[in-house]
């Protein structure tokens, strides 16, 4: 519990992958690596017909990158290695041969928006505002950018990227295509998620696999692209601007 976890279970063809970190479900490198691995394992498990991806709790869905780890980065290679964790998660979601349904129960920042965007179908609670705060930190949403832009369009991606300190509510996210449905209660959201997951679990696995491949056409170069983007972030995180910002933020 102290360092967070990633876990999964499968019931009647519905696989649920859950991640957690005590700091508002932030994503340190260990969680990122475990999450990518779990998505790959479950994606290749014939018992799983559809995947639900969620974080624990009813507050923040994901606070993005771990500031503790960002502060500890001292060279470009370490920075690239850390941000490549986000690349691995997004690529694992992209390449999983099963539909992934995301459950966004609260606010999503940075990498959390990337996860919501990389899902094939996303449900959200009314409190699930989004923010790409990277520019305010002194870097940019380089790794998650392709997933966000693919899902929400260039205009919305630019709005989120440039106005990096402003929250955009769930209605905005739904209007721009990130969320398929937004619910007033978590109970209604969970019922809808389970209902769709059960329908998909009873559908043709081969048909869904082929459909997913078609839906993600044109992203085959992301294995290389997202690692190149990780190096961009890994370089900028070493700047005095970023170090100063994070140090000031942690003092609050």
In percent, the amount of the chain with pLDDT more than 70 equals 98
Residue 177 CA to residue 195 CA, distance in Å, equals 21
59-68, 115-124, 152-161: lowest mean pLDDT where? Answer: 59-68
Predicted confidence at residue 147, as pLDDT, reads: 98
Q: Which bin fits 132, alpha (ψ -120 to 50), beta or left (φ > 0)? A: beta
pLDDT in tens, 80-107: 999 999 999 999 999 999 999 999 999 9
Predicted confidence at residue 120, as pLDDT, reads: 98
pLDDT in tens, 171-214: 999 999 999 999 999 999 999 999 999 999 999 999 999 999 99
Overall pTM > 0.85? yes
Residue 177 CA to residue 180 CA, distance in Å, equals 7
CB atoms within 10 A of CB 120: 23
* Radius of gyration for the chain, computed over Cα atoms and rounded to the nearest angstrom: 17
DSSP symbol at 106:
S
In the block, residue with structure tokens 């500031």: 67
Give bridge partners of residue 125 from the DSSP assignment: 183
Q: Which of 19, 153, 177, 141 is nearest to 92 (CA)?
A: 19
CATH fit for domain 5-201, picks 3.90.226.10, 3.40.50.720, 3.50.50.60, 3.40.640.10:
3.90.226.10
Give bridge partners of residue 55 from the DSSP assignment: 19
Predicted confidence at residue 248, as pLDDT, reads: 81
The number of helices, as runs of H, and strands, as runs of E, in the chain is 12, 8
Q: Which of 74, 86, 194 is nearest to 140 (CA)?
A: 86
pLDDT at residue 252 tops 70 = no
User: Mapping DSSP to helix (H, G, I), strand (E, B) and coil, where does residue 243 land?
Assistant: helix
Predicted confidence at residue 223, as pLDDT, reads: 97
Tokens of 122: 């996303």
Would you kindly state where each structural domain of the chain is located, as residue ranges? 5-201
Predicted confidence at residue 68, as pLDDT, reads: 86
Tokens of 49: 């017909």
Residue 167 CA to residue 174 CA, distance in Å, equals 14
Q: Which bin fits 153, alpha (ψ -120 to 50), beta or left (φ > 0)? A: left
In percent, the amount of the chain with pLDDT more than 90 equals 91
Residues sharing a CB contact under 8 Å with residue 94, sequence separation 6 or more, in sequence order: 118, 147, 216, 219, 222
């Amino acid at each position: 519990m102290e360092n967070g976890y990633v876990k999964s279970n499968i019931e009647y063809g519905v696989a649920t992958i859950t991640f957690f970190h005590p700091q508002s479900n932030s994503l340190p490198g260990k969680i990122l690596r475990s999450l990518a691995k779990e998505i790959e394992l479950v994606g290749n498990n014939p018992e799983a017909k559809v995947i639900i991806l969620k974080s624990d709790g009813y507050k923040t869905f994901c606070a993005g990158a771990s500031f503790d780890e960002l502060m500890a980065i001292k060279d470009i290679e370490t920075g690239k290695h850390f941000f490549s964790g986000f690349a691995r998660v997004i690529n694992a979601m992209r390449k999983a041969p099963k539909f992934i349904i995301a459950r966004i129960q609260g606010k999503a920042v940075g990498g959390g928006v990337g996860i919501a965007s990389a899902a094939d179908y996303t449900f959200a609670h009314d409190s699930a505002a989004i923010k790409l705060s990277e520019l305010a930190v002194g870097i940019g949403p380089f790794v998650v950018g392709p997933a966000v832009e693919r899902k929400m369009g260039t205009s919305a991606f630019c709005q989120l990227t440039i106005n990096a300190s402003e929250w955009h509510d769930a209605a905005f996210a739904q209007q721009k295509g990130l969320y398929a449905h937004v619910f007033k209660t978590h109970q209604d959201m969970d019922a809808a998620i389970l209902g769709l997951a059960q329908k998909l679990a009873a559908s043709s696995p081969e048909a869904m696999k082929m459909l997913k491949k078609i839906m993600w056409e044109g992203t085959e170069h992301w294995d290389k692209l997202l690692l190149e983007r990780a190096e961009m972030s890994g370089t900028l995180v070493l700047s005095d601007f970023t170090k100063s910002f994070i140090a000031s933020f942690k003092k609050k």
